[in-house]
Structure 1
Amino acid sequence: MQRQVAVIGGGVVGLASAVRLARDGHRVTVFDHDDSRQAPSWNNAGHIAIEQVEPLASPASVRSAWRRRFAAGGALDLPPAMARDWLVFLPRYLAASRPSRFRHGSAALGSLLATAMPAWRRLAASLDTPGLLREDGHLVAWCDARAAQAGAAAWRRAQTGAVTVADAGAEDRARIAAVCAVPIAGAVRFTGSGQIADLATLVDALEAALESAGGRIVRATANVAVRDGRATIVGHDADLVLVAAGIGSAPLLAAAGEPAPLIAERGYHIRAAADHWPADCPPIVFEERSMIVTRYADRVQASGFVEFGNAAAPPDPRKWQRLEAQVRALGLAMAPPFSRWMGARPTLPDYLPAIGRSERVANLVYAFGHQHLGLTLAATTGEIVAALIADRPAPVDCAPFSLERFGARR
């Protein structure tokens, strides 16, 4: 049955869902005020990370947090100025990191990630943009021999789903050497993961596909109101409302009494011209420095940091400065001038996304909180949302991703 669907959020999850819904015959309007494309969807590392089966809410992450702190040279930061944000989030995160909860989360996330690459293949093929999805895997490298030995062993022990991990061969080591002046002590090759070749091309293709299917994009902020048990968009008609607004989803769901304990997990990147970075080089993770470097169409990008706080707070220039220092220290083939970006990943305490139908408001659906995996899970989330709206069986059990896991706010 054709319905008028309002999608709040024009990031990769919102657009992938909107395209699928429009192709299913619904009349879809996407509300997106981010016309400058500054959202994390269009500034991430481009990595289809189906190997990330183990949620970051884990005993191992808790144990390693102290040595990973920014003040000690690591990538994790809990800024004192934003303590009022992360002090609320932290107890929930620690509870979700208990072994039993971690095992439950790994099983749920693993089932979702198992559907991610097939869904991306279907979506990418339908966009008629050759080369958009690359399935070349990725590399992880270490400069220190002890770190290389420990890191490689840890990855071999980890759950990685359909992705395999093996020592990098001569060709891959040569790839790393071509872009990194510092000798590499060890590297592993991940086979089965992928990359979006260019994020700007992706957003153009998704928006064009939506319009071709009869959908439209309104460059405006949308607000949710609930009247007589149904969600509406203030000033617009809608039979169904999908909230896929990333870090902005929590206040939209508040009107429906839905708990959404999001925190802004802020990431940083720098970009430079890709004049000396081979176009066929897969993403490279320099694990000791918690930095991933990705070649896009005409730019190369170095990304890092996990900074918990408030999305609206000013950026911390020290993060960009450290990324630039790391690029210099490794002798990477990316030269200034650098462009700088900071954005807020939408993260829930258990590091599982929120995907489901509201149990309080019959015509409200949600898809957000994908943390580092928004790009990875966008295509399969779109298919799940379409199934929920059509009352078809979803590709996975959605119970672990329901907002009910955080308790009701009545």
Structure 2
Amino acid sequence: MERREVVVVGAGVVGVSCALWLRRQGHDVMVVDRGEIAGAASFGNAATIADYACTPVPQPRIWRDMPGLLFGVESPLSIRWSRIGQFAGWLAGFLAQCNRRAYVANTEALAAILQHTFEGYAPLLDASPEARAFIRHEGCLYAYRTERGMRRATADIALRRSLGVQQEVLGHDELTRLEPALHGRALGAILFPSARHLLDPQGFVQALARPLIEERRCARMEVATLNASARGIEIGTADGRGILADRVVLAGGPWSAQLAAQMGDRIRLGAERGYHVEFQLDKPLFTRPTCIAESSFYMTPLRDGRLRAAGTIELSGLSMPLNTKRTDFIERNIRRNIQLQAPVRSSWVGVRPTLPDYLPVIGPSSADPRVIYAFGHQHLGITLGGATGQLVAQLIAGERPALLERFSARRFA
């Protein structure tokens, strides 16, 4: 078997960031993935480095909103009821987190790791001016169309403020000075001034990965098995090849749970499908990512005149084809909210790896500390890639960051 010191399974932004941090420490590291670099969720996300996004989806008001979420025609949540058996356990775990105590605890945990967002990326960007060129620092907006929406945001604003999150509450005039396209279409907004966005998420990750590519530290292969032995961690691939690694970092997105189960860890990882629709504009409409809060869509300006509208949650399993009802839903709402006439350029669906508590799993396998988990980042993969890589590097260096206790795989035992 080919021998490696560290193998990172997964070439999304989290896997690439982990590999780069380990490379900085002098480790012989290799990244393996069945697809191209940043070809899955790291390709199709909302392109926002959202260091403010500490409030998770499971929260107490889910119970009050449940009928509309499950059965409403205009709901940001969609469930394929014919597939309910595949994710019933995950959904039960999700609902168990929809109480005030869990919501505050999960928010605090996310806020703690989000504080390391830019620290985690700093050395990687210093080494890659090409990647840095994809970043724009214009902040991010949550815009509200209704008084009810603004009232409902009050508690979250207070909670974020208590955790030190930078935010500014804007009235209509202040908002429309920043984003004239929202004139008369929103009553107010919250500005998160420290947020960044990417002109092309896949281009950003591929630029970061350039040293790994040039040093031939990336390989295209599908990992099928993990087996712990006295010699190391034996990695079996779908085409019969084998790698023997001293350490494995498992950052394989929604497929990670299947491999973690082979190590003896039963982790309830959900396949939460996300969608985007891109419009081709003649001239930019927005300067920064803007979320119409009542609709839960981000509208992010990308390069080449693209406006990406990303959002919605669909529970339907890993392998279902694109659901045109969801892309039609996004397109219809964007056109209605901002009176957009531009043509659709493309549509996309991908799978977000999401745990019921919306916290990632970062830390050693409970069965074998030679395997490090780094997956389950829900909507925050692009945001937390650098911070996760830094934490994984600290673990492999023998450190035990106290921060990681809340993200341990042992919380599912």
Matches within 5 A, 1:152-163: 152-159=153-160, 161-163=164-166
Aligned mate of 2:268, from 257, 261, 266? 261
Q: Does the 8 Å contact 1:277/1:333 carry over to 2?
A: no
- Unmatched segments (≥5 aa) in structure 1: none
Instruction: Work out whether 1:78 is the aligned partner of 2:79.
Output: yes
Partner of 2:233: 231
Matches within 5 A, 1:287-306: 287-298=293-304, 299-306=306-313
| Residue 283 (1) aligns with residue 284 (2) | no
Q: Counterparts of 1:140 and 1:61 in 2: how far apart (Å)?
A: 19
| Count of aligned pairs between the two proteins | 401
For the residue of structure 2 that corresponds to 1:275, the secondary structure is: coil
- Alignment partner of 1:391 is 2:394: no
**Can you list the C-alpha shifts for 1:341-398, whole angstroms capped at 9, x where unaligned?**
011100111111000011312311110001011111110000000011111243x521
Report what 2:98 is aligned to.
97
Task: Tell me the TM-score normalized by structure 2.
Answer: 0.90
Residue 322 (structure 1) shift = 1.2
Matched, 1:317 2:318: no
- The answer to whether the Cα contact below 8 Å between 1:156 and 1:165 also exists between their aligned partners in 2 is no
Is 1:131 the equivalent of 2:133?
yes
Rounded Cα–Cα distance in structure 1 between residues aligned with 2:184 and 2:323? 28
Task: Go from structure 1 to structure 2 and tell me whether the alpha carbon gap of 1:198 and 1:241 turns closer, same or farther (over 3 Å shift).
Answer: same
TM-score normalised to structure 1 length = 0.90
Question: Shift of residue 290 of structure 1?
Answer: 1.4
- In structure 2, distance between residues paired with 1:185 and 1:16: 39
Structure 2 residue aligned with 1:373, among 342, 364, 380? 380
Matches within 5 A, 1:59-70: 59-69=60-70
* 1:150/1:104 CA distance change after superposition, 3 Å: closer
Instruction: Tell me the CA shift for residue 258 of structure 1.
Output: 0.8
Opposite residue 316 of structure 2, the aligned amino acid is G
Over 3 Å counting, the alpha-carbon distance change for 1:260 and 1:216 in structure 2 is same
Q: Percent identity?
A: 31
Corresponding residue number in structure 1 for 2:170: 167
Cα drift, residue 314 of structure 1: 2.1
Distance 2:88 2:249 in 1: 29
Deviations 1:245-292 (A, max 9, x none): 0001011111110121111111111112242225x7010101122111
Task: Give the C-alpha shift of residue 139 in structure 1.
Answer: 1.3
SS in 2 for 1:158: helix
Q: Secondary structure at the match of 1:238?
A: strand
* Corresponding residue of 1:326: 333
1:173–1:187 Cα contact (<8 Å) kept: no
Q: Which runs of 5+ in 2 are unaligned?
A: 237-241
Q: Which residue of 2 aligns with 1:201?
A: 203
- Rounded Cα–Cα distance in structure 2 between residues aligned with 1:152 and 1:242: 38
Q: Kindly report the root-mean-square deviation, in angstroms, between the aligned alpha carbons of the 2 structures.
A: 2.3
Residue 39 of structure 1 and its aligned partner are, at CA, apart by 0.6
Q: In the alignment, is the contact (CA less than 8 A) between 1:138 and 1:191 conserved in 2?
A: yes
Letter in 2 for 1:45: A
Please say if residues 240 and 364 of structure 1, whose CA atoms lie closer than 8 Å, have aligned partners that are also in contact.
yes
Residue of structure 1 equivalent to 2:193:
191
